[in-house]
Chains A and B, each alone.
Chain A
Amino acid sequence: MDINQKYTPQSWPDHPETATLEGKNKFIGFWLLLAAETVTFASLFATYLALKDKGPSGMEYSAAGLFELPLVFAMTMILLTSSLTSVYAMYHMKNHNFKAMQAWLGITVILGATFLGLEIYEFNHYVHLGFGFTNSAFSSAFYVLVGTHGAHVLFGLSWFIALMIRNSKRGLNMYNAPKFYLASLYWHFIDVVWVFIFTVVYLMGVIG
């Protein structure tokens, strides 16, 4: 692999992310990491369900009384859209259109940051209502589950930004193509987890 080799859309391989051994290794390794992440979130979900609405006697907040769907629905839409924009970015990556890829990634980052901002607003809102991390087993389980997802979003955003800045001058090559691909894969995973959070925590929570 030569990092200085220049590609044109014609010479660019169909699957640049797995065109080198390093890329292939990263590709498989990352899927395996996502398997481990899946088990992590499964454990968090199971714990959340076991501790849902559990707290000291006289606990003020339960899921049905706390969550409000409109904001969360907006967050869900924003994150789902950002997943779509990252797909566009990868489409352009495969066509060796660096500028378009950067642009779509930029949109993805903006959407992701909006999501994160809304989540911080939501948490802040709950804390002001008196639903803090240490209030009950339910609150601890809620904040750790949703907060772990939030931390993943933050990490994903930082990853995108670091990649975009680092490679802004030199464009696409066989060395960084797998990196872009994996960051995007990670972003999809975060999105899927959020769909589960939306369903299990918020929808099922409001229903009771």
Chain B
Amino acid sequence: MSSIAQKKGFGATIWDFMTTVDHKKIAILYLISGGFFFLVGGVEAMLIRIQLAKAGNDFLSAGLYNEIITMHGTTMIFLASMPILLAFMNAIMPLQIGARDVAFPFLNSLGFWLFFFGGIFLNLSWFMGGAPDAGWTNYASLALASEGHGIDFYTLGLTISGFGTLIAGINFLVTIINMRAPGMTYMRMPLFTWTTFVASALILLAFPPLTVGLFFMIFDRLFGANFFAVDMGGNTIIWEHLFWIFGHPEVYILILPAFGIFSEIFAIFSRKRLFGYTALVFATILIGFYGFMVWAHHMFTVGLGPTANAVFALATMIIAVPTGIKIFNWLLTIWGGNISFTVPMIYAVAFIPSFVAGGVTGVMQAIAPLDYQLHDSYFIVAHFHYVIVGGVVLAILAGTHLYWPKMFGTMLSEKLGKWTFWFFFIGFHLTFFIQHFLGLMGMPRRVYTFGADQGWDLFNAISSAGAVLMAIGVIIMLVNVVMTTIKNERVGNDPWGDGRTLEWAIPSPPPFYNFAQTPLVRGLDTYWIEKMEGNKKGMIFAEPLGDIHMPNGSIIPFVMSLGMFIASFGALYFLDGDKPWALAVLVIGMLILFGSMLLRSLKDDLGFHITKAELLEDAKGGKTDGH
């Protein structure tokens, strides 16, 4: 099964990735496709800022502008931020808990391919009659009125990719519950694993309401149902509730793993144990818990009445407390530490003031009467970009630098990384800080143009200039990736020198079976403990070297996702009078989906074993390759 490393052809590599069930390879798939969508969303952002650079600009038409803002938001949230975070979870979390792989390698692959095909489907709308144009929130009355099939691409695409995310969430939960190495108690888990755990629980409970809402929208638009059709007794506010019952936890699904990445970085580069680990864990759980009770703060102006508004205002304010606990614990982690300003650490340090700024404007918007002014103005645009860019995107950039060696075995250039950081960081504040004031000056969000008589010219011009700096930063980052890949200087287990958790005790990149022997965990920051005690072997192991059972690769996840992808085209054109083939396409797609499910269920897939002899040979230097 395992064989000495050999150069594979291009086609074989592609096939390998299409069929892989290895969490590390799936992580790479998530990173590449998430990165691609991040660039797409970035281009859309630049188009928006060009359009708004001056008053009365006609660079984009009104309709096209709405399509671009919709796709920018949808792409960045669903197709860029979340997949890239899923990439880190996949790559790192199983290593952090000393697991062989995730609990369901097959489903892991299925989750990726569903996300991927959903994302492709959504973006195909650009070439097939127009993108969705009702904003990423897709409020029902506008979405029902929208002509063409843009909205249908949105609903069907997000349904597919949403299933993928749900599967990933369940998978991570089971992995963390069942597959921790001996000694890895819950209160010894690294913070990134903890945040993955809580974020996965949020995915589990938050995505179903979105799926239900999307299905209502699909039924309404494509099959004649009346959930949101007001004249038929429908109610558009149901969509708003379902969307935000998902949408608010979604924010925490994004930010919690970001917190996790930063927690790891603060500890590593301060060379110090996380201050108040227990408090950080409980703050994470609390944030996840409260995340489900505050959705209506997105709906203060809907007219739910003062009681609902007051209750949700107070509930929202409470979240500031666990978030504050986190900030102060991080500050006290670096306090008294020995700080090395590597690129990941610079991002982490810059994250604190940026995120605090985003957090306090969040509390301001929790004040319901004040939110009547701030809601749907540029103030909220500034706020959520401070949280998402200042929190999540900085974490993604930091995580990319931090985990690049673990995922690819080479180090990104620190020098270029710092250039990226400064361009991106300055550009980010320049773009978004001033938008708070635009909002206070009366500028509503989602306007494709503004008159010269509104007094918003100067600040919009400054904001657009900032966006250019961010774009330059990202381009430098791409150059960095290319140059690093070409240079290909290999690194060892612990390239940062101060790794504390299990993932730094294994080669970079790890062999496909992860730890040949499951490590024994003796405390929080278990690798650090071994290092401090001078353990030359790296870790103590919990089992003797023996055969390892591995799952087989499979093309079925790809085929299943393809089936859903095809079926979606059938559903999309179902009610179009001139496309009689739509029903056939829908049925064929469903047959592919259920047929491959049946095949999976009927055909036994028992995996294979790596023998002890092969492992020993591997340890001697021969590199085993995947199955």
> Of B179, B209, B232, B601, which is within 8 A of A137 by CB?
B232
Interface flags for A4-44 (1: CB within 8 Å of B; 0: not) read 00000000000000000100110011001101110110011
Instruction: Point out the residue from A3, A47, A139, A144 that lies within 8 Å of B238, measured CB to CB.
Output: A47
Query: In which size bucket is the chain B interface?
Result: 35 or more
Known: A43-B212, A166-B601. A136 touches B233 (CB 8 A): yes
> Is A56 within 8 A of B232, CB to CB?
yes
Interface residues of A in 141-171 (CB under 8 A from B): 141, 144, 162-163, 166
User: In the assembled complex, which residues on chain B have CB atoms less than 8 Å from the CB atom of A144?
Assistant: 215-216, 219, 225, 227
Q: Please give, as numbers and ranges, the residues of chain B lying within 8 Å of A127 by CB-CB distance.
A: none
Q: Could you tell me if A54 and B178 are in contact, using CB atoms closer than 8 angstroms?
A: no
Tell me how far the C-beta of B381 lies from the nearest C-beta in chain A, rounded to whole angstroms.
29
- With A28-B178, A36-B208, A40-B212 in contact, do A55 and B606 touch (Cβ < 8 Å)? no
Q: Which of A32, A50, A59, A135 contacts B174 (CB 8 A)?
A: A32
Expressed in whole angstroms, the Cα–Cα distance for A166 and B603 within the complex equals 9
On chain B, the residues within 8 Å of A28 by CB distance are: 103, 173-174, 177-178
**Do the beta carbons of A25 and B104 come within 8 Å of each other?**
yes
Please give the distance in Å from B410's CB to the nearest CB on chain A: 34
Q: Is the CB of B216 within 8 A of A56?
A: no
The smallest beta-carbon distance between B163 and chain A, in angstroms, is 10
Residues of A in contact with B, size category: 35 or more
Taking a contact as CB atoms under 8 Å apart, the answer to whether A36 and B207 are in contact is: yes
Is A51 on the interface with B (CB-CB < 8 A)?
yes
The residue of chain B having its C-beta at the shortest distance from the C-beta of A39 within the complex is: B208
- Contact status A137-B229, CB under 8 Å: yes
Which residue of chain B has the shortest Cβ distance to A170 in the bound complex?
B604
Q: Are A35 and B104 in contact (CB under 8 A)?
A: no
- Report how far A120 CA is from B205 CA in the complex, Å: 31
Residues of A within 8 A of B209 (CB): 39-40, 43
Within 8 A of A (CB), among B366-408: none
Judged by a CB distance under 8 angstroms, whether A133 is at the interface is yes
Supposing A25-B178, A29-B104 touch, asked if A47 and B233 sit within 8 A by C-beta, the answer is: no
Q: Please name all residues of chain B whose beta carbon is closer than 8 Å to the beta carbon of A162 when the two chains form the complex.
A: 598, 601-602
Q: Does A133 lie within 8 Å of B173, measured CB to CB?
A: no
Across the interface, do B212 and A44 meet the contact criterion of CB distance under 8 Å?
yes
Contacts of B223 in A (CB 8 A): 133-134
Question: Which single residue of chain B is at the shortest CB-CB distance from A38?
Answer: B208
Given contacts A133-B224, A175-B604, A50 and B238 within 8 Å (CB-CB): yes
Contact string against A for B residues 197-216, beta-carbon threshold 8 Å, 1 for contact and 0 otherwise: 00000001101110111011
Which chain B residue shows the least CB distance to A33?
Answer: B170
Contacts of B104 in A (CB 8 A): 25, 29
Instruction: Give the secondary structure class of B's interface.
Output: helix
- Decide yes or no: A54 and B174 within 8 Å by CB, A36-B204, A43-B242 being known contacts: no
Most chain A beta-carbon contacts within 10 A, residue among B212, B220, B224: B212
Interface pair B224/A134, CB less than 8 Å apart: yes
How far does the Cβ of B383 sit from chain A's closest Cβ, in whole Å?
A: 28
In the complex the two chains form, is A51's CB within 8 Å of B205's CB? no
Most chain A CB within 10 A, of B174, B216, B223, B245, is at B174
- A185 → chain B, closest Cβ, in Å? 15
Task: Known contacts A28-B174, A54-B234, A137-B229; decide if A175 and B204 are in contact (CB<8 Å).
Answer: no
- Chain A interface helix/strand/loop/mixed: helix
Q: Is the Cβ of B171 less than 8 Å from the Cβ of A137?
A: no
User: Counting CB contacts under 8 A, is B301 at the interface?
Assistant: no
Q: Is B231 close to A, CB under 8 A?
A: yes
**Does A3 contact B606, Cβ atoms closer than 8 Å?**
yes
Interface pair B242/A29, CB less than 8 Å apart = no
The listed residue (A32, A40, A166, A175) touching B211 by CB distance below 8 A is A40
- In the bound assembly, the distance between CA atoms of A54 and B245 in angstroms comes to 23
CA separation between A144 and B173, bound complex, in Å? 30
Q: Find A140's partner among B170, B207, B219 (CB 8 Å cutoff).
A: B219
**Which chain A residues lie closer than 8 Å to B232 at the CB level?**
55-56, 136-137
CA distance A73 to B226 in the complex (A): 28
A25 to B484, CA, bound (A): 39
Q: Which of A36, A137, A175 contacts B205 (CB 8 A)?
A: A36
Q: Check A202 for interface membership: any CB of B closer than 8 A.
A: no
Inter-chain contact B174/A51, CB cutoff 8 Å: no
Distance in angstroms from A200 CB to nearest chain B CB is 16
Per the bound structure, the CA–CA distance linking A59 and B227 in Å amounts to 15
A175 touches which of B179, B227, B242, B606 (Cβ 8 Å): B606
When the two chains form their complex, are residues A32 and B204 in contact, meaning their CB atoms are under 8 A apart?
yes
- Complex CA distance for A47 and B214, rounded to whole angstroms: 13
Q: Are B233 and A29 in contact (CB under 8 A)?
A: no
Q: Report the minimum CB–CB distance from B211 to chain A (whole Å).
A: 7
**Quick one: CB contact mask for B43-58 with A, threshold 8 Å, 1 for yes?**
0000000000000000
B226 touches A136 (CB 8 A): yes
**A138 interface residue, CB < 8 Å from B?**
yes
User: Contact between A141 and B227 (Cβ–Cβ < 8 Å)?
Assistant: yes
| Interface check B235, CB cutoff 8 A | yes
Chain A minimum-CB-distance residue to B206: A39
* CA of A37 to CA of B163, assembled, Å: 12
CA distance A43 to B232 in the complex (A): 20
Contact A47 B216 (CB under 8 A): yes
Which of A32, A33, A37, A134 makes the CB contact (< 8 A) with B226? A134
A54-71 residues at the B interface, CB under 8 angstroms: 54-56, 59
Pairwise interchain contact A32-B602, C-beta atoms closer than 8 A: no
Question: CB within 8 A of B235: which of A21, A54, A135?
Answer: A54
Besides the known contacts A35-B205, A55-B226, 7 further A-B residue pairs in the complex with CB atoms under 8 A apart: A36-B204, A37-B208, A39-B208, A51-B234, A140-B226, A162-B602, A166-B601
For the complex of A and B, the 3 pairs showing the least CB-CB separation, nearest first, are A54-B233, A137-B233, A140-B225
Which residue numbers of B lie inside 8 Å of A, CB to CB?
103-104, 166, 170-171, 173-174, 177-179, 204-205, 207-209, 211-213, 215-216, 219-220, 223-227, 229, 231-235, 238, 242, 245, 598, 601-602, 604, 606
15 A–B contacts from the bound complex (CB under 8 Å): A25-B174, A25-B179, A28-B174, A36-B204, A37-B208, A39-B209, A40-B209, A50-B235, A51-B233, A55-B233, A56-B232, A135-B226, A136-B226, A144-B225, A162-B601
